[in-house]
Amino acid sequence: MPAKLQGAIALKKAMRQFTPDLAKETNKEIASFVRPLAKKARGFMPSNDAAPSGWLKRDNAKGRWATRYYDASEARRGISYKTSAGRANSRGFRSLASIQSKNIGGIIYEWAGRASGITGNFTPKLEAISQLRGKNKGMTGRALYRAYAKDEGKATAGVIKAMEKAAAKFNARKTILK
Residue 163 or 117, more confident: 163
Q: Which residues of 125-136 are buried (b: 16+ CB within 10 A; e: fewer)?
A: bbeeebebbbee
Q: Which of 30-44, 53-67, 120-134 has the largest mean confidence?
A: 30-44
Provide the pLDDT for residue 75.
95
Asked whether the predicted pLDDT for residue 29 surpasses 90, the reply is: yes
Provide the pLDDT for residue 64.
82
Provide the pLDDT for residue 112.
86
Q: Domain residue spans in the chain?
A: 8-177
Lowest mean pLDDT among 5-14, 132-141, 163-172: 132-141
Provide the pLDDT for residue 15.
87
Provide the pLDDT for residue 52.
85
The share of the chain scoring above pLDDT 90, in percent, equals: 43
Q: Span 91-95, mean pLDDT? A: 87
Q: Span 148-175, mean pLDDT? A: 89
pLDDT single digits (tens) 67-76: 889 999 999 9
Q: Span 50-57, mean pLDDT? A: 85
Lowest mean pLDDT among 35-49, 88-102, 110-124: 110-124
Could you write out the DSSP letters of every residue in the chain? -----TTHHHHHHHHHHH-HHHHHHHHHHHHHHHHHHHHHHHHTSPPTTTSPTT-B--TT--GGGGS--B-HHHHHHTEEEE-S-----TTS---SSEEEE-SHHHHHHHHTTTTT-S-TTHHHHHHHH---BSSSGGG-BSSHHHHHHHHTTHHHHHHHHHHHHHHHHHHHHHHHH-
pLDDT single digits (tens) 114-127: 877 777 778 888 88
